[in-house]
Amino acid sequence: MRALLFAMLLAPQLLVTGLALAVGRPSEMLPDPAQEARAQEIGRELRCMVCQNQSIEDSEADLARDLRRLVRERVASGESDRAVVSHIHDRYGDFVLLRPPFSLVTAPLWAVPVLVLLGGALGILLMRRRSAERAGPAPLSPEERARLAALEREP
């Protein structure tokens, strides 16, 4: 029981420590807070190619750390945000961008969610139509039966 309690108390500390290391060591941060904020903002737009679902600012991978250093070097040298992103984009391609531009190559990435939604809606409509066809016609109400009987009696 003590071990479980100890683990529950220690787990949040380890989680916070791991996240702090992912953002970068203080020695890797730029001394100018404005430049550091710019570098972090740029890093949030770039994908870690090892983790693939995190920005380089959130990743602990060595490649992400190297890219964070590269971004900070270029920001410190006075390059614009666009120039820094362009440099990394030229080296690694569209995949490094968390929001890739629309082009013929990236069109499937943009189209897949729409196609999945349309396919799901079509599937639901087809299932409803099939179940309605299997059910057959609805039974006649008493008023409809009486009217049908009256029509059958007429010459």
Q: What one-character-per-residue DSSP string does the chain give?
A: -HHHHHHHHHHHHHHHHHHHHHH--GGGS-SSHHHHHHHHHHHTTBB-TTTSSSBTTT--SHHHHHHHHHHHHHHHTT--HHHHHHHHHHHH-GGGBSSPPPSTTTHHHHHHHHHHHHHHHHHHHHHHHHHHHHH-SPPPPHHHHHHHHHHHH--
pLDDT of residue 13: 53
The domain defined by 2-96 folds into: Helicase, Ruva Protein; domain 3 (1.10.8)
Each residue's pLDDT tens digit, 39-51: 999 999 999 989 8
Domain boundaries, the chain: 2-96, 107-153
When mean pLDDT is compared over 11-20, 76-85, 125-134, the highest value belongs to 76-85
pLDDT of residue 67: 94
What pTM was computed for the model?
Answer: 0.56
